[in-house]
Chains A and B, each alone.
Chain A
Amino acid sequence: MDYIGIDIGSTAAKVVARGDHEMEFALPTGWSSKETANIIKERLAGDGIDVTGDGAKVVATGYGRIAVEYADYVITEITCHARGGREMGSDDCAVIDVGGQDTKVILISHGVVQDFLMNDKCSAGTGKFLEIMANRLGVDLHELFDMAEGGETLSISSLCTVFAESEVINYIGEGRRREDIAAGVVDSVAAKVAQLAMRKNLPDQIILTGGLSDSRYFAKILSEKIGKTISPTDRGRYAGALGASLLAEEKTKRAAAKL
């Protein structure tokens, strides 16, 4: 049996297979979640996994979850991220997931979701903000973080991505160092994520998942803002897909036990 977790996010689609086959891969979501779901299906078929057959159970999650027509279960990204985060952290931890279009803070207690918060109305404080600013500075996300590390933080005070971009343009116009602007951009996102997270009583263990999860620099800045250690995770971008795969296994076994 294969347990497949498919996490179709706004920016990237992540897939984790566990069981007879062990694999993980990611691809850009592109403009159509349905198309992406089909590409994933074919790619898995190429590796000998037939998602429509009895030998595979699929859980779809992420904002494109309903586009995965061959999914056996559809579960929200909160529950999946929590399950994956629990695997990467522990039964009692918090997961901060900075995604392409939203940011989630999930509190896990005794292995289950106890509470969560989501910023999904405003792109400031999400990956989208960094993407736009990196674009403006003519670099990619990794370069942005690398540059930021060597910069002196410039203040970006606007709460809105569009206005913050104007601030960045002003700095560029003033001839400020790119490194300093980059540091300001990362600082601004971290401040917004911290503001969201600090609305809740955070436990001692906090892990970072999502697209920025492997950035030690971002984790460091965020830790300073929150006043607690935020641990980066190497496979954090797969947290949702891993959680989905684990839930596929648990749901299948629970259903079998009921029969």
Chain B
Amino acid sequence: MADYRKMWEDLGMDVDTHDQLCEVLPQAFGDVYLSQENRPESMDYYNFVVAEIHGVRPAELIEHQKKGGKVFGTFCVYVPDEIVFAADAIATGLCGGSQFWVPGGEKVLPTNTCPLIKASVGARLDRTCPFFRIADMYVGETTCDGKKKAWEILAEDVPVHVMDLPQMKREKDVCSWADEIRTFKKVVEDFTGNEITAEKLAASIHMINNKRKALERLYAFRKNDKLPISGKDVLLISQIAFYDDPTRFAEMTNKLCDELEQRVADGISVFPEGTKRIMLTGTPLAIPNWKIHNLVETSGGAVVCEEMCTGTRYFERLVDETKTTVDEQIDALAERYMGINCACFTPNHGRIDDIIRLAKEYKVDGVIDVNLKFCSLYDVEGYTVERELQKAGIPVLGIETDYVDSDAQQLRTRISAFIEMLGA
């Protein structure tokens, strides 16, 4: 990584502690990613983004702020980036995916809080992540109890706006989410001093749709019998999508897709024949959480789809681009976002339908339902997920884990046994 020490110091970071993270990340990335054979050349871009993860993009965000622009930090795929970009501001994902930040979160949160929340709070309070320092305002949502209370703690340290996400999907709930988006628009306009016009919103809707299309195109390659790219690599791209510049990200991802098209034409596969096709469902895998993908793909499996926030929930379905007034555009946004199926909704048949549909589209041999420890919503829903998959004749393995590596061997035994079971 280039020298960003000065920038980090200016951000008020605890640079010495942060150095420890900078030391371990390249090793982990090398072990999990660079050890793979026959990777697409266009992965170089994403390798670079990760290598400079706390440098290049933060520097761009600071540059944007110097020109008077604002940066909004978000934690959830329900928060509409379109609103932020329409006000000439930048939205960036802030979810923490490393054990490194967890002890910091545990200073103020109960131990039995999900690691994603603990890591996010720890990254902010311990001042060990530039993105958490840069964001001028955090945008929270009411997707779970842990997060709701965590916003209150974070709000003592940084401006926080919380969006009230409905818990059901009746028509009035979609209307209520549209109202929440209207409130959010006002907050963003006031905070940035920029008006969100229909023209600007149309442009940002178009831009974010392009990002979704690029990801959709990328995922489609995983429906091939011969897989031109590993699941690990696609996961990395999904994770980077949350904080990269959307236009550049779409461009680079489309460039990668061009290469993958050629690979498909040439019959190139990054996995040997007979590799079992696995879909992961469940809680998100925030960067740098690559644990399950790595275990699956070094145990005779290939991850071909993620029914996760870092996966299909992020990009499936586009926002209707034909609307011409801000009001209609916001309704279209609400429509699209309320179509995401998260376990925080009840009832949640839509998610089961998604899982079964994706399992067929991606021709999976088996599903691994992954639950981040202490996420009771996905944990409880896991019962229904497993039962419905079994009814559909699709083998499923439920696992629960967090960010520590200490359970890796136990998980490997289960995952290997599951893959052996699929091969019988």
9-residue interface stretch from B1-9, B83-91, B413-421: B413-421
Interface residues of B in 381-404 (CB under 8 A from A): 390, 395, 400
| Cβ of B322 under 8 Å from chain A | no
How many A-B residue pairs have C-beta atoms within 8 angstroms? Tell me.
41
**Partner pick for A116 among B390, B400, B409, B417, CB 8 A cutoff:** B417
Most A CB atoms within 10 A — which of B407, B413, B414?
B413
| Cβ of A113 under 8 Å from chain B | yes
Which B residues touch A114, using CB under 8 A?
421
Chain A: which residue is nearest B383 at the CB level? A199
Q: How many residues of A contact B (CB 8 A)?
A: 15
CA distance A112 to B421 in the complex (A): 8
| Cβ of B24 under 8 Å from chain A | no
In the complex the two chains form, is A112's CB within 8 Å of B424's CB? yes
| Cβ of B410 under 8 Å from chain A | yes
Interface residues of A in 51-89 (CB under 8 A from B): 63, 75-79
Most A CB atoms within 10 A — which of B395, B416, B418, B421?
B421
Known contacts A112-B424, A113-B424; A76/B409 CB under 8 A? no
Query: Chain A contact residues: over half helix, strand or loop, or mixed?
Result: mixed
CA distance A76 to B395 in the complex (A): 18
Q: How many residues of B contact A (CB 8 A)?
A: 14
| Cβ of A258 under 8 Å from chain B | no
Q: Report B189 CB to chain A, min CB distance, Å.
A: 49
In the complex the two chains form, is A79's CB within 8 Å of B414's CB? no
**Partner pick for A78 among B400, B407, B417, CB 8 A cutoff:** B417
Q: Report B301 CB to chain A, min CB distance, Å.
A: 13
Chain B: which residue is nearest A112 at the CB level? B424
**Partner pick for A63 among B409, B414, B417, B418, CB 8 A cutoff:** B409
Chain A: which residue is nearest B419 at the CB level? A76
In the complex the two chains form, is B421's CB within 8 Å of A113's CB? yes
CA distance A79 to B418 in the complex (A): 9
Q: Mark B26-41, 1 if CB is under 8 A from A, else 0.
A: 0000000000000000
Could you write out 22 A-B pairs with CB less than 8 Å apart? A63-B413, A75-B420, A76-B416, A77-B413, A78-B413, A78-B417, A78-B421, A79-B420, A79-B421, A79-B424, A102-B410, A112-B421, A112-B424, A113-B417, A115-B390, A115-B395, A116-B417, A116-B418, A116-B421, A118-B410, A118-B413, A118-B414
- Sample of 19 more A-B contacts, CB < 8 Å, known A76-B416, A115-B395, A121-B407: A63-B409, A76-B420, A77-B413, A77-B417, A78-B414, A78-B417, A78-B420, A78-B421, A79-B417, A79-B420, A79-B424, A102-B410, A112-B424, A114-B421, A115-B390, A116-B417, A118-B410, A120-B414, A121-B400
